[in-house]
Amino acid sequence: MANISNFLATALLNQVFRNTNYTRPTTVYVALYTSNPTAADTGTEVSGGSYARQAVTFAAPAAVSGKQTVKNSADITFPTATADWGNITHVGLRDAATGGNLLYYGALDNPRSILTGDIFKHLANSIAPNLY
């Protein structure tokens, strides 16, 4: 998950090079998408059918293939779908439980359809944003 959003790129550049404060989120959430969210946050996020973004925590950064990376430190389990959610192709990291800003995004290695009764789950260490 090496795709940084326009929002976060601008915030980090302003913070580092222009001394403009960036207020980091107190909680980061995983969102599921049926299309590419893109750096401009234009994708289609799942909605309805008991879908809700899930909070995520990360371990300390470490080098992975020469890139500083953080990984989710625990499994992330979404609620049981009470309606079809569609074909989940991408995930995003957001700074709010609803609305808010996209921080990072990436395509799933194995997109999958979530149907009524299904549970979508990310295993620990499966979400790994990096800065390169």
pLDDT of residue 1: 62
pLDDT of residue 114: 97
Torsion of CA 43, 129, 127, 112, to 10 degrees: 30
**Mean per-residue pLDDT over the chain, rounded:** 94
The pTM assigned to this predicted structure is 0.93
Q: Is the per-residue pLDDT at 132 higher than 70?
A: no
Q: Give residue-wise pLDDT tens across range 82-124.
A: 999 999 999 999 999 999 999 999 999 999 999 999 999 999 9
Q: Is 63 left (phi over 0), alpha (psi -120 to 50) or beta?
A: beta
